[in-house]
Structure 1
């Protein structure tokens, strides 16, 4: 995959070499440079817009993924909490039985 910056740099270098080697008159060269400069500017503007759009999509996707991960973590935590509560309830039942046996002995 060719990086857009490399393409733009190639266009600029090509334009510069073309100017140096061109046998045209000054006005013709300036007009051609102005036209090529506008094309490069338009391409850079388009590329920046694409990058901005890509970043916006990535950000939205990242937010969605983060929300999913938080929900998954909350679900797992809730499940583990439920297991801990069940364990503690069993332990309390055992302690309650022991306490009842102590009360009956007295």
Structure 2
């Protein structure tokens, strides 16, 4: 199963449990609404952090692939030059 789907499922379950716990708590409506808003903000911050981590990870991997590709192109040019020079010689 996709790790992203599992993480999203866990976060959704935690958020649902937290909201249900708050809704059934014996607090005033204004206090309950504030708690729900705070939990929502915390959940959103967690998702943003996870998203940023994934993007940073993908960016670093892409940069590594790009550098590796440049190295292979340079090697191919050198190989072609060597062949060209040996054919002349």
Pick the TM interval, shorter chain: 0.5 to 0.7
What is the TM-score normalised by the length of structure 2?
0.68
Partner residue, 1:74: 77
Quote the Cα distance in structure 1 between the aligned partners of 2:26 and 2:9. 28
Partner residue, 1:27: 30
1:16-68 per-position Cα deviation (integer Å, ceiling 9, x unaligned): 44356x24333332122111111111111211221222122122212211111
Aligned residues: 85
CA distance 1:85–1:9, change in 2 (3 Å): farther
**Structure 2 segments unaligned to the other structure (5+ residues):** none
Quote the Cα distance in structure 1 between the aligned partners of 2:10 and 2:88. 62
Q: Which has the larger radius of gyration?
A: 1
CA-based RMSD of the aligned residues comes to 2.6
> Given the alignment of the two structures, is residue 47 of structure 1 paired with residue 50 of structure 2, yes or no?
yes
CA distance 1:73–1:10, change in 2 (3 Å): farther
8 Å CA contact 1:11–1:40 kept in 2: the answer is no
**Structure 1 segments unaligned to the other structure (5+ residues):** 87-106
What is the TM-score normalised by the length of structure 1?
0.60
